[in-house]
Amino acid sequence: MAAGKIKRLNPGIMPMLLLFTLLLVSLWLMSDATHNSERFGEHYSWLLLVNAVILVVLGALVVANIIWLFRQQRKQAVGAKLTTRLVIMFVVLSLVPVSLVYYFSLQFLQRGIDSWFDVEIEEALEDALDLSRTSLDVRLRDVLRLSQSMADEISESPAATIALNLYDIRVRSGAAELTLLGSDGRIIASSSADPTDIVPYRPSGAMLQVLHDGRHYIGLVPVGESGLYAIALIPVASSREDGEVYAFVTMFSVSERLSVLAGSVQSAYSHYKELAYLRKPLKFSYTVTLSIVLVMSLLASIWAAFLSARRTVAPVKEMARATRAVAEGDYSKRLAVVSDDELGFLARSFNDMTRRLAQARDQARKSQYQVEGQRAYLEAVLANLSSGVISLDADANIRAVNSVARQNLGMDIKSYLGKPVASVASGHAYLQPFIDVIERHRGKGKPLWQEEVSLFGVSGRQVLMCRGTRLRGIGSRRGGHVIVFDDVTELIQAQRDAAWGEVARRLAHEIKNPLTPIQLSAERLRRRFIDRMDEKDVEVLDRATRTIVNQVEAMKTMVNAFSEYARVPRISLKAVDLNQLIQEVLDLYRDNGVKVRFKLQLDSKRSYIEGDTGRLRQLLHNLIKNAQEAVAETPDACITVTTQSGEDVQRPYVDLFIDDNGPGFRPQIMDNLFEPYVSTKHKGSGLGLAIVKKIVEEHGGVIVAGTSPDAGARIHIRLQALDKDIRDIGDGKNSSTGGAI
């Protein structure tokens, strides 16, 4: 409401120009009044009041604009700060020069007016006035003497010749006019140098009164348009019997230059006296007038500043509003082009920009619809794939995943979108081998790669077949990677079981069946010919047949072991105390004649697992037997059995470490250590570690070979542990032992 009132108080430029014109006219009248004492006294006060009213109106408009600007500042309106700066700049630029002019003008007026009333000037004017008066007095005295002599001459003239005598006297004296008046004012006789002047000059009553008082009159009197005359009135006694006294009037013309000079001196002296009388009021009037001019200039400059600032800021405000609309997504905003200057060019540029932005927005929307359609299509394809898919950008940040990836990895990988793929392993340590494979192949920069990864996942051992493809970049934009992986745990297990079952069947058919006839034939040869040969041949035959029989038995044993490895497992799972089982197995190796020291470091916190006791016992026997054979030739042979409990992603597990201080594994067989027929011993079938790995996989665990702290061999097995409630199903005892056997 208040802002509307202030806006109504802000008139246009034409009313303000009319107001300024009225103020200037008023100031001019005030200035003119100071030069005229009569007008000064009559009009100055009214003019001052009019100027004051105009200045009050102008000041009210300026104050209204200042209040409006202050409110705009408080509202933080667009353009308020720029308007303030422009107004301040205008005021400063006008105040400084106007103040300087006002100061020096005031000093000049004060000193100039004082200089007008110098004592020497006043004395010079008085002397000039006295001089003019003296010269006129001399002239008047001469006229008076001459008039008296003419009056004496007339008084002796007879009445009949007075008129003629007046003419003669006028001609001889050079008078302009001579008149003889009776006591009652009648004209007795008259003579004038101007023949057209029929009626002689008649003196005023004041002049005649001086004459009646018995005195002579002499003075300067202006007569019509003829100029200034020296007039003298002299009493003259008539020659008549009644003794009437006549009034003798003489008129002598005064020199025109003398008249002008005398008038000029008199006028200057009178004006000087007037100014001297108005000295202080004149100073005050000039000071007030100058102050009004100063205030008017300041108010006019402020008003002009507001007007100019508003006109300048108005396009900026409109552009700011339009820019805000564009920032909010409204590209239909257009600015009115009202000039051909830089602001007009800016408005046209803005309109061109918004038009192009609108076109770009429409094109972007079309592209977005296309991208969203393609994305929906891609998501539908990914969602129906049977393989897990992870898309990475050039910086290895996860861009997209499908639901199968979450199922295969056993965690919500979608929560890591936009994050580095390496961060997945920070919260899920069991995925570190999977992340390592991705990082390794990314570092190599291969366009295509494939590798099998074994994990100890949420549900135990897990085998992932991973394939990676490097994407080509677009322009300067680098390409990313796509990783496709499948959970082939069950497939590999089924393929392995089927393959080794077929191998076992063929071995039984191709190898095991011929062994029995070979063994029987060797025994029959020995029985039939041993009694017929001499002692030397008997020894050879006996050694040969025994060798055949022993090797056949060894081959049967190997075929049976291979058949055992390849058969489909039939295990019976139940809660097993791993620590107790280890102690039971190690008890069998006490005092068996082998000089090997056993160290036990069993963790009592968590030791129960779900497993087949027989298969686990076979696993422990194979590992301890292999360790014994590895340290057979090592001084101070030692085998260390360690269990450690832990938890990963709220999944408890138990780690089993079997370390020895033997020669360790050769590096060249590390990659194939758990495959059949791979062995580090001179004797053996090479199926021991393969059977151990198979038993571990049957129990959902993982097995890794490495180097022990004593630089020997280490076998690390990780199995899923049971929680406390299931462990309590056992015999209620948690074995926790440590030391050596």
- 222 contacts: CB under 8 Å, gap ≥ 6: 228, 229
How far is the C-alpha of 363 from the C-alpha of 426, rounded, in Å? 42
Place of tokens 């003889």: 180
How far is the C-alpha of 556 from the C-alpha of 548, rounded, in Å? 12
Q: Is the dihedral of CA 158, 161, 163, 166 positive or negative?
A: negative
Helices 119-155 + 256-277 axis angle, to 10:
140
20-31 burial by CB neighbour count: b if 16+ within 10 A, else e? beebeebbebbe
Identify the CA nearest to 471 among candidates 439, 433, 442, 436: 442
How far is the C-alpha of 375 from the C-alpha of 377, rounded, in Å? 5
Cβ–Cβ contacts within 10 Å for residue 340, how many?
A: 9
CA atoms within 13 A on the CB side of 418: 1
How far is the C-alpha of 717 from the C-alpha of 693, rounded, in Å? 9
Which three-class secondary structure state does DSSP give residue 443?
Answer: helix
How far is the C-alpha of 410 from the C-alpha of 461, rounded, in Å? 12
Residues 577, 734: contact at Cβ < 8 Å?
yes
How far is the C-alpha of 197 from the C-alpha of 629, rounded, in Å? 178
Which three-class secondary structure state does DSSP give residue 660?
Answer: strand
How far is the C-alpha of 341 from the C-alpha of 344, rounded, in Å? 5
How far is the C-alpha of 254 from the C-alpha of 284, rounded, in Å? 43
The pLDDT of residue 270 is: 66
CATH class of the domain defined by 574-740 = alpha beta
Residue 610 — left, alpha, or beta (φ > 0 → left; ψ -120 to 50 → alpha)?
beta
Residues 681, 662: contact at Cβ < 8 Å?
no
The pLDDT of residue 741 is: 41
How far is the C-alpha of 398 from the C-alpha of 438, rounded, in Å? 12
pTM: 0.41
Chain centroid, CA 425 distance in Å: 39
Angle at CA 611, nearest 5°, toward 606 and 612? 140
The pLDDT of residue 273 is: 62
Angle at CA 502, nearest 5°, toward 499 and 506? 140
Report, at the CATH architecture level, how domain 142-272 is classified: 2-Layer Sandwich (3.30)
Which three-class secondary structure state does DSSP give residue 715?
Answer: strand
Same fold, 385-487 and 574-740: no
Instruction: Tell me the residue type at 395.
Output: D
Chain centroid, CA 521 distance in Å: 100
Residues 189, 161: contact at Cβ < 8 Å?
no
The pLDDT of residue 366 is: 85
| Surface-to-core class of residue 595, CB atoms within 10 Å of its CB (0-12 exposed, 13-18 middle, 19+ buried) | exposed
Spatial strand order of the sheet with 638-648 comes to 702-707, 713-720, 651-660, 638-648, 597-601, 738-740
Tokens of 188: 């007795």
pLDDT along the chain (741 residues), means of 10: 43 57 59 51 60 73 77 73 75 75 69 57 61 71 84 77 80 83 80 78 81 79 72 78 75 69 64 61 68 72 73 70 74 70 74 80 82 76 78 87 82 85 83 88 85 74 86 75 85 71 67 76 80 79 83 76 64 90 86 79 88 90 89 88 82 90 85 73 68 86 88 91 58 42 41
| Surface-to-core class of residue 536, CB atoms within 10 Å of its CB (0-12 exposed, 13-18 middle, 19+ buried) | exposed
Tokens of 588: 């069998």
The pLDDT of residue 260 is: 64
Chain centroid, CA 586 distance in Å: 75
How far is the C-alpha of 401 from the C-alpha of 387, rounded, in Å? 11
Read off φ and ψ for residue 707, nearest 5 degrees.
Answer: -110, 135
* DSSP structure string for 317-333: HHHHHHHHHHHTT-TT-
Residues 442, 396: contact at Cβ < 8 Å?
yes
How far is the C-alpha of 119 from the C-alpha of 124, rounded, in Å? 9
Angle at CA 110, nearest 5°, toward 107 and 111? 85
CA atoms within 13 A on the CB side of 291: 8
Residue 420, beta-bridge partner list = 397
Q: Specify whether domain 385-487 bears CATH 3.30.930.10.
A: no
The pLDDT of residue 35 is: 52
The pLDDT of residue 2 is: 43
Residues 656, 719: contact at Cβ < 8 Å?
yes
Q: Is the dihedral of CA 448, 452, 456, 459 positive or negative?
A: positive
How far is the C-alpha of 467 from the C-alpha of 461, rounded, in Å? 20
Q: Are strands 448-457 and 460-470 parallel, antiparallel or unpaired?
A: antiparallel
The pLDDT of residue 365 is: 82
- The continuous run of DSSP H or E covering 442 comes out as helix 432-444
Tokens of 560: 């049976």
Residue 206 — left, alpha, or beta (φ > 0 → left; ψ -120 to 50 → alpha)?
alpha
Cβ–Cβ contacts within 10 Å for residue 90, how many?
A: 19
Identify the CA nearest to 283 among candidates 52, 45, 108: 108
Per-residue HEC secondary structure of 148-181 comes to HHHHHHHHCCCHHHHHHHHHHHHHHHCCCEEEEE
The pLDDT of residue 735 is: 40
How far is the C-alpha of 468 from the C-alpha of 392, rounded, in Å? 11
Model confidence over 23-82: pLDDT tens digits? Answer: 566 556 555 555 554 454 455 566 667 667 767 777 777 777 778 777 877 877 766 777
How far is the C-alpha of 250 from the C-alpha of 207, rounded, in Å? 13
Identify the CA nearest to 239 among candidates 157, 318, 148, 339: 157
* DSSP structure string for 490-526: HHHHHHHHHHHHHHHHHHIIIIIHHHHHHHHHHHHHH
H-state helical runs in 338-431: 342-383, 403-409, 423-427
The residue extents of the domains of the chain are: 2-116+278-322, 142-272, 333-384, 385-487, 494-566, 574-740
CA atoms within 13 A on the CB side of 252: 23
Which three-class secondary structure state does DSSP give residue 656?
Answer: strand
